[in-house]
Structures are given as C-alpha cells and as structure tokens.
Amino acid sequence: MMSRVPRLFLRLFLSYWAGLVATILVVFLIFPRPDNQSIAWALGSRIAAAIAVSGVACVLVARYITRPIAALSIAARALASGDLGARAIHAGSAGNAGKNEIEVLVEDFNQMAERLERIVESQRRLVRDVSHELRSPLARLNVALDLLDSAKGDVCEERERMRRDIDRLNSLIERLLALSRLDAANDLAAPEWFDLSDLITEVGTDAMREAVARGCEVECKIAQEFPMLGDYELLRSAIDNVVRNAVRHASTGSAVEVELSRDTNGSARICIRDTGPGIPESELENIFRPFYRVDRARTPGDGGFGLGLAIAQRAVRLHRGSIAATNRSPHGLTVEIHLPASDGSE
C-alpha cells in the first residue's frame, strides 16, 4: 500500500502548477500574439510573463513555509534560554483535518514545551516538598541531641524519639529512591509470569492485620485466575499502597473491598473501594502527585508521605496499565486499576 501523500507537498505542488496554468491562460488566451509581432518577441514576452507569475507564486510559497519555521526557531531559542512558557505562535487551520505537516509540527512542539514545563515545575515542587518533609524530623533530632547534651529530661524517651525519626527518614529516602527509579524506567527490567489472583490474595491477607487494628476488614473478591507477565514485587507494592491507603481512611466497622475481574477486552480490572470521607472532585487527579495531600481531615496523623499513590501510578504505567480514582455514593473512594492482558494469557 502506498503511503499517504503529505498535505504540504500537495499544497506546494498544486500551487506551482496552478501558477503555470494561470500564466498560460493569461498569456495565450487573454493576450494573443498580434499578426505583426515576430515569433521571437512573442516567445520572449510570454517567457517573461511566466517568470513574473512564477516569481510571485514562489514568494508566496516561501513565505507560507518560512513563517511557521521562524516561529519554531524563536520559540526553541527562548525555551533553550530558560523561558519554559515559550510557545510557537502560528495562525494555522482551525481544524485538525486542514492542518499541514508544518502546522502539526508547530502544534507538537507546543505540546512538548507544555509537557516540559509541567515536568520541570513538578521537579521543583518535589524538591520543595522533600525539603519540607525532611525539615521536621531533622529539627526534632536536633532538639533531642540538645536535650541529651544537657542531660535534661528522659534520656531513654529522647533516644526512642530519635530512633523513630531516623526510621521515618530512612523510609522517606527509600520511597523517594523507588519513585525516582520508576520515573526513569521505560520498561520492566525482568518480567515474569505470575497469577494476579494470587497477588491480590496476598495483598489482602497482609492488609487485614492493619485493618483489624483499625476496626475494619478487607474483603477480596476474585472472579477468576489471571495469568500475567510483569514484575510481581513492583505490582504487589503498587496495589498494596492503594489497599493500605483505603484501610487508613475506611470507617470503623466497614470493609475495604478489593475486587479482581476481567473486562470484555480481556484486561484485568482491579477495584479498591473504601467507605471514607472521599475526595473533592477537583482533587481526584492530584492525589497521584508526589507528596500531595488533600487536607488534614483526609490524612489525620497517618504518618504517610503522600508517595504511595504516586508510586502505584508509575508502577501501573510500567505495566502499560492505567489507574484512576472516583468518589462513591454516598461517601467513600474507588481506585480502579486496569492492566492489559499479556500475550498468551488467554
């Protein structure tokens, strides 16, 4: 099958031949050769007219091509100089169907620049959030050290507090390293076959201990087995983060539901439902950002860093899946994970 002819090529080709046809019509039909005019003079005048018309057409075509390229060049230089808000401005066609290749290139450049701006801003926000998270335990460690130096207060209590803060810092560093590795990865390192239903059962069993301590329980509903090719530990950590987050926010006496089923297209569908306070609709997409917390009411002293759902999202994406959160009625939250079926899983 022949490849589609580029739209820009067609426009240039048609513009050139339209100019030639117009020249022929103007010269030979509107201005016929007088009887007393020599053939050489008539041919020369027609060639001059053709050159003039073609020259005008070439100027228009060159301007048509160079304007968006110049806009791209200006925006690229501004972006390279650190202006992340720079965009290539070009008045192209209104609809996607009427855009040529250069206009599509300008649009792709603007989308790239916008994504780059979001990534850089996300990294800046991450640095600010990490600094904030590290400041509190380090300040407490300094206070504890001062108390130990002055030998005032309960030394054992201060040591225990220092140990808790050190453990918290170690946990934060481990999660940051995990998040960094997931951000840098483009594919799974060493995928292997496993049964997703066994993974869900293991996660539910482990989370039950924390659920019982909080006065609730975890119910696993598994419709069928689901063989999958992926990273077992990485995916287990992702689902475990979501389930434990649901357990922390579930109301007393309720049950966190973890359901595994198969979609009509063969992909796995994992739903984790809790009966907590839910999340404002405008914040549903933000909960997967690192260090993001909705409010104090949603995370009252749970000791989390706001990294669990961010790690889960990146792990699911590495498995070519998707994750999203929706509110339940009358209250509660549902986190839905879709994982595509691996080849040979049917």
Domain assignment of residue 117, yes or no: no
- Residue 273 in domain: yes
Catalytically active residues are: 132
* Same domain, yes or no: 105 and 86: yes
Same domain, residue pair 204 and 330:
yes
- Are 134 and 161 contained in the same domain? yes
Same domain as 19, residue 135:
no
Is 146 in the same domain as 255? no
The answer to whether the CB of 264 falls within 8 A of the CB of 229 is no
pLDDT of residue 204: 92
User: pTM of the predicted model, to two decimals?
Assistant: 0.55
| pLDDT, position 162 | 72
- Please indicate, yes or no, whether residues 216 and 248 belong to a single structural domain of this protein: yes
Question: Residue 24, Cα to own-chain centre: how many angstroms?
Answer: 55
Residue 72, CA distances (Å) to 86, 236, 252 in order: 10, 45, 58
In terms of domains, do 52 and 94 share one? yes
**Chosen domain end from 160, 184, 208:** 184
Give me the pLDDT at residue 79, please. Answer: 79
Which range of residues forms the domain containing residue 62? 7-112
φ/ψ of 247, rounded to 5, equals: -65, -40
- Nearest alpha carbon to residue 105 among 2, 241, 6: 6
| 321 and 201 within one domain | yes
- From 53, 84, 112, give the residue that closes a domain: 112
Total domain count, the chain: 3
Pair of tokens at residue 229: 């090719």
213 located within any domain: yes
Residue where a domain stops, chosen among 93, 112, 131: 112
Question: Domain check: are 252 and 301 in the same one?
Answer: yes
Note whether residue 345 is domain-resident. Answer: no
Q: What is the pLDDT along the chain (346 residues), one digit of tens a residue?
A: 344 545 656 666 666 667 666 666 666 665 555 555 566 666 666 667 666 766 676 777 767 777 777 778 888 888 777 777 778 776 554 455 556 677 777 888 888 888 888 777 776 666 666 666 666 777 777 776 676 666 555 666 767 777 777 777 776 677 666 666 666 666 777 789 999 999 999 999 999 988 998 899 999 999 888 998 988 888 988 899 899 989 988 888 899 999 999 888 888 999 999 988 888 888 888 888 877 766 543 443 444 567 778 888 888 988 889 999 999 888 889 999 999 987 654 4
